[in-house]
Structures are given as C-alpha cells and as structure tokens.
Amino acid sequence: MRNQLATLRPDINVIDKNCNSGKIEEFQNNTLRPILKFQNSLMLLIFQNHIEKYKVSFNNTNNSKRKIYIEKTIHSDKTLRFLLLGVVIGHFTNIEWKEYFLHRKELNRHILNLIIHQLQDQISNESLSIDYK
C-alpha cells in the first residue's frame, strides 16, 4: 500500500518502470519527477517571488539569457536553492527519506538539475507578470 503522501502525486506515464535502471535513476523517475510535477506551481511562484524581491527585469530579456539567469541564480543563491530543495524533500515518505539520505549529495544535484530544467522550460517561453527596471 502506498503512503498517503505518495498518493497525492500525479502519475508520470512516460516512465518505463520495467527498464533495468539504477537506484538513483529509479528514485528520480518514481519519486522526484512526480513530486516536481505536483509542486510545479509552487516552485514557479517561489521563483517569481525571487525575481520580484531582487527587482530583476526579466521580461525584457531573451530566452537564452533567462535560462542562464535561472541556472546561475539557483546555483549561487543558497536561500533559494535550499527553499526549492525543501519543497521537494518535504514530500518524501519515510522510506524515500532513508533512500535519499544514503545518496543525498548525488540526489541533490539531480533535484536541482530537474528544477532548473523545469523552470527554464516554463519561464523562458512565457512572460512573467513581474517586470522591474
């Protein structure tokens, strides 16, 4: 029986659950991707609030500059990085937490890369409601 927390997550249909993947890839596909999909709107809001707080003129930049800004900001701003990690880690079940803890350095890297790509795909192609000069 799945944990109640895990039942909230959306199913990801594109994942081949029968393939022989390693533990990290399996964790990424079965745990991280559904959590990221579930928490997508919150992560977008967090990033938009970051832009508002630092008065970043984001709408006047092209997509490639937006993508670079997203990646650099998440890697350099510890508060933002830890907040986004917490949004994901806070949705682990007890069993998932134990698995995460064993491989936390590698999984943190995976989580951040997934978040960066998710934000880049969504924010780079749309206009944000916040624009500061």
- Residue-wise pLDDT tens digits, 8-46: 888 887 555 555 678 999 999 999 999 999 999 999 999
Task: Produce one character per residue of 79-105: b if its CB has 16 or more CB atoms within 10 Å, e if not.
Answer: ebbeebbebbbebbeeebeebbeeeee
Cα–Cα distance for residue pair 87/35, rounded to 1 Å: 9
Q: Is the torsion defined by CA of 42, 83, 11, 93 positive or negative?
A: negative
Q: pTM score, two decimals?
A: 0.85
Cα separations (Å) of 97 from 51, 91, 111, 114?
31, 9, 14, 18
